[in-house]
Amino acid sequence: MKPKRHKSGYFGAMINPERLHRSQIKFYVFLLPILLLMALPIVFIIFHAFKPLDELYAYPPRFFASRLTIDNFRLLMQASDQSGIPFSRYLFNSLLSAILVIFLSLLLSTLAAFSFSFLDFKIKKWLFAANQVAIMFVAVAVAVPRYIVINALGITNTFFAHVVPLLAMPVGVFLLKQFMDQIPRELHDAARIDGANKFQVYYRIVLPLVKPAIATIAILAFQAVWNNVETSQLYIADEALKTLPYYFSTLTLGTSSIAAQGIAAAASLIIFVPNIILFVILQKNVMNTMAHSGLKS
């Protein structure tokens, strides 16, 4: 009997059937234990943040909490009040810097990638090669020259110190250029013939076609700024300008060790949750980016 043809073809039906097929069971048997193992740290962080203090130091350690409480979060707020800076101020600084970094880094990265992919200008290859070299340097390796540049710009101890150092994303430029290189040049030429200028081609044609890469870069930019502690440590002296991760890194100061354990658990959850929520929202685009590294034909 000839197999029933799927709307995407016979092979499409075998790879991605509409219903659970018995041929998939072996994959679930292999993947479900891995999924459970990878989910354990997430479950532990959630329960750990809501454990009462006596269970945090229970022996043997308990994975799940027998009694949930929000005391750890209340102590976290109280510790902030004792420092003289309200918790909401640290949170506002983190949120505002994250929004600005995501928006501006995406703007700069997409413009740079568009220039590398669609425009012709002198030293284009040299500039892109410099971008590739920049990918190899970690932040620690350039901490000193970065401080010199920021100090020369006069933005130390200002809110701009949270934003400016994180705007350059060499990985984002590279990834976007790879996506844009997959766009048929006929679309670009047709738009130019119809009278579209370069910015209209960039905004109306190119950006909608590279949404998966943009979503991936947005996640990377958010993680870079949301988890950033170095900026508040190295460039900011005013406590009111510092961010949430820096405040969380100082929780053990002036606090008893038992209380600090509960506060640190609550702080870890607050830092972790936005990362996982953003990834869940944009995971489809991220998977497309990793799987295809370009556009489908």
Asked whether residue 101 is domain-assigned, the answer is: yes
279 and 139 within one domain: yes
Residue 208: CB atoms within 10 Å: 9
150 and 270 within one domain: yes
| Mean pLDDT of all residues in 60-85 | 80
Asked whether residue 80 is domain-assigned, the answer is: no
Average pLDDT over the chain reads 82
Asked whether residue 219 is domain-assigned, the answer is: yes
Which residues form the domain of 201? 89-292
Q: Do residues 263 and 75 lie in contact, with contact meaning Cβ atoms separated by under 8 Å?
A: yes
Position 152 pLDDT exceeds 50: yes
158 and 62 within one domain: no
227 and 104 within one domain: yes
pTM for the predicted model, two decimal places: 0.79
Asked whether residue 1 is domain-assigned, the answer is: no
37 and 126 within one domain: no
Position 115 pLDDT exceeds 90: yes
Q: Which of 110, 120, 165, 108 is nearest to 142 (CA)?
A: 165
Position 10 pLDDT exceeds 50: no
d(CA 173, CA 107): 10
Find the length of the chain. Answer: 297
Q: Which of 199, 198, 221 is nearest to 274 (CA)?
A: 221
Position 1 pLDDT exceeds 50: no
CATH number assigned to the domain comprising residue 157: 1.10.3720.10
Would you place residue 187 in the very low, low, confident or very high pLDDT band (cuts 50, 70, 90)?
A: confident
Residue scoring higher pLDDT (259 or 60): 60
Dump pLDDT digits (tens) for 214-263.
Answer: 988 999 899 989 988 888 888 998 888 999 888 888 875 544 555 577 78
Poorest-confidence range of 45-49, 111-115, 279-283? Answer: 279-283
